[in-house]
Amino acid sequence: MNAAHLHGFAVFGGAYEHVPVRLGPGAYLGMACAAVAFLAALGARWDELVRRPSVTAILAFGLTGGLLAAYILPWLTVHAPRVGRGPTGYQIVEVGNVVVPFIALLACFGLPLWGPRTPPGRRLVAAVGLAVLVGGALNSLGGAPWPYEAWLQLGCSLGLVSVALATSRGLRISRMPVADLAAAAAAALLVISMFLPWEKVCGPGHGACATHSGWTETNSAAAGGLAVILLVLLLGFRHLFVELAVAAAIYVMAAGFVTTQPHEQGHLGYGAPLGFAGAALLLVAAARRLASVPTDRTRLLVRFAPTTACLCFLALPTVTMTGRLSFSLEFDSPWRVYWLWFELAAILLALRLLGRWLADPGADDELVLLPLALLVLTVLDVILARRAFGSITWEGWLSIGLCMLLAVLGWLERTSGLERLRIPEEIWRIDRLPGES
């Protein structure tokens, strides 16, 4: 998918320069590595695969494969017959740059659910979630003529829903707790709002206005993808991932800030307030977890440092996303919009870590592993920013420093416990030599 996208991007540039382009060695090496990893995963689970699979499982695998293949097809059509004899003669069909990785993730996650021992409700929820995401990605096409790969995407996703429905004969819908039901309703409201106009852009004076749905803007589309994943996990696995809820709310907030920037001509469409309401309700659902935080004063004081460090780290990508920083601050940040997926992963990991520090996990491996994962991510992000822009800024160093501080605090908590941590008396004691006054 990455090779196809980059190739299409280069073909577009090459068309202006009259330069033919081709895939380079990195693409072949990357695709070979992906194929080897895929075969290794197949080999590891070969015993399960050689058992006679059901017809529905084969059908579902085929439909999922067709769906993923539809995104690998070329997205740039030169001399497209649908466009007619216009001045350009080509059509760019780039459906949902942000939504497609969510689709690929959910499609791969959904594959093992077609096994015989999985409750039918899980695959139904995953298939519906996939169809919603595909609908969102196609929604970003607007009124443009649909190419055949768009129809293939829609057909495969609806086919998966049909197969899931056909195999859900034993489906039982158990009652959810009210809190989870409220969270599901909030996420559903956010997802519905994504299909409505989020932004209205009008020309100068009384010029014509155009509207864009939530799936077309980067931050709101990321929020929509997170909300769909949240719904799949909540309805299918009955587990509310607070990190996903808060991250979706953060992205909705950023979308609001970006759309209403003073120098832009965009205004909020009527879908945006619905999205804001959904995000606010998600935050309320997430805040209910705070009730389970132990209120022991000593403990809260001891954990003040790690929770503050988590919040400081979280603030760096979050504030950058809003587009309200000065140009130099935003440009210097390693969390600028070019690295959307690193930004999203860092926010999710930081939220998870914050939750672990606020909860009472005891000797928790995650307190060490999460900061280390954040450190790897931050270092990679800083390296990429250095390659692209030639410098490492104070925001990059600050992010790395916070990750290291969090890793040390997590290690101390895991080994001896921060509350029992004492500085050895020998360090403080001042022994006076005989004869000294």
Binding site for another protein (CB under 8 A): 1-3, 5-7, 9-10, 13-14, 17, 19-27, 29-30, 33-34, 36-37, 40-41, 43-46, 97-98, 100-101, 104-105, 108-109, 112-113, 115, 118, 233, 237, 239, 339-342, 345, 365-366, 369, 373, 376-377, 380, 384
- Sequence-ordered list of residues with C-beta below 8 angstroms from that of 258, at least 6 positions apart, any chain: 217, 219, 321, 322, 323
Cross-strand pairs, 78: 90
As a whole number of angstroms, the distance between CA 369 and CA 407 comes to 8
Nearest CA to 4 out of 21, 130, 337, 36 is that of 21
Residue placing its CB nearer to another protein in the complex, 119 or 323: 119
Q: Are the C-beta atoms of 285 and 183 separated by less than 8 Å?
A: yes
CB of 1 to another protein, least distance (A): 5
Range 180-195 burial, b when 16+ CB lie within 10 A, else e: bebbbebbbbbbbbbb
The C-alpha atoms of residue 425 and residue 421 are separated, in whole angstroms, by 12
Closer of 7 and 200 to another protein (Cβ): 7
The single residue listed with the structure tokens 């690295």 is: 339
Nearer to another protein, 9 or 201 (CB): 9
Give least dist CB 244 to another protein, A: 11
Place of tokens 């719904």: 231
Nearer to another protein, 109 or 146 (CB): 109
Smallest gap from residue 189 Cβ to another protein (A): 24
| Cα four-point dihedral sign 384, 389, 392, 397 | negative
CB of 378 to another protein, least distance (A): 12
Nearer to another protein, 109 or 195 (CB): 109
Residue 62 or residue 119: which is nearer to another protein going by CB? 119
**Least Å from the CB of residue 73 to another protein:** 14
Decide: residue 141, CB within 10 A, 0-12 exposed, 13-18 middle, 19+ buried: middle
Q: Report in angstroms how near the CB of residue 170 gets to another protein at its nearest.
A: 17
